[in-house]
Amino acid sequence: MVTLKSRSLGVIIVTGGAGFIGANFVIDWLKLNHELVLNLDKLTYAGNLESLASVQGDARYLFAQGDIGDRALVGKLLAEHRPRAIINFAAESHVDRSIHGPEDFIQTNIVGTFNLLEEVRGYWNGLGEAERSTFRFLHVSTDEVYGSLDTGAPAFTENTPFAPNSPYSASKAASDHLVRAYHHTYGLPVLTTNCSNNYGPHQFPEKLIPLMILNATRGRALPIYGDGKNVRDWLYVSDHCSAIRVVLEQGRVGETYNIGGWNEMPNIDIVLRVCTLLDEWQPSPEGPATRLITYVKDRPGHDRRYAIDATKIHRELGWRPAETFATGIRKTVKWYLDNMSWVEHVASGEYRKWLETNYTERKQ
């Protein structure tokens, strides 16, 4: 591991920075800030250093492979680099995988978060008064901790009670509670964000939008759970990254901020938008991409609707998303079509095995 250069500059540590949202955050951060970034990532199936190729030669960037649950490593990195902030993206984050194998989610999202908090607490307690007052631990979480909404019900606010319905969302809810407890018990200066469904460049192609793009370009079925009418709020990943930067710099310590895209849409509408763009930019001689849509058995406990009320972050911090869904989805589909080599590298043998496990048994 190489030591970061220029100790006169501040340092932030990003955990899970080789994942989808984390990688976009690192790239955007280095475009907009002079501070140094240490990226700590375990490099599981969803971690991909190719996503960070554009910053590999940047003297302000350092990668360390490791687990947030490895307290010896985390403690060493904290002591060596003395960061002013931790942004914690590290998590197992796919609902279907949590149904097939919940233990990894418990270990990373709960036990890992606990171990990370313990090391950060020790580090923070050892700082001088000025550094302690400006240090922040920002925990990135999900709207899924709030459970499912009925049609017409008010959107999730920061005061909505937690009601997780999958092993994934339950593990994230537990991590959120731990972060809150470390603030109220120990005084650790924390911030928590709960975001809606992200989409955009560098997303692992097990998630809805990149999976549809990849399968359609290969002439494969586009699997849609149930009736396709499950509703999500869609947030372009760069908008999410900008919101996190705003919360980090301006958010009130101990507070939670919901981050949403103000884009509630059923899954089937998302797929139809993707198909339309693919027909425009890469039409198939076999016919329109919609011919590939295939409805499959719904997953167990599939939440019907999520919706984020992002009023608080707009009112207190002045943040709103820059992208509409119409602009964000065009950028996303175009990026994947222009970067199919990245997609092909990500679509490894393990990924293909996962698709077979998850979707073949659901065909109906």
Respond yes or no: is residue 344 known to be catalytic: no
Q: How far apart are CA 292 and CA 213, in angstroms?
A: 11
Q: Which candidate, 172, 147, 171, 175, places its Cα nearest to that of 160?
A: 147
Structure tokens at 61: 């960037």
Would residue 168 show up in a list of annotated catalytic residues for this protein?
yes
| DSSP string of 229-264, one letter each residue | --EEEEEEHHHHHHHHHHHHHHPPTT-EEEE--S-E
Residue in 61, 123, 168, 182 annotated catalytic: 168
- Residue 347: C-alpha distances to residues 46, 126, 204, 258 (Å): 10, 44, 8, 32
Q: Among 19, 55, 18, 11, which Cα is nearest to 37's?
A: 11
Q: From 120, 20, 13, select the one nearest 61 (Cα to Cα).
A: 13
Alpha carbon of residue 276 to chain centroid: 26
92, 96, 143, 303: which one is catalytic? 143
User: Which has the closest alpha carbon to 319: 253, 244, 236?
Assistant: 244
Among this protein's residues, is 336 annotated catalytic?
A: no
**Catalytic residue list:** 143-144, 168
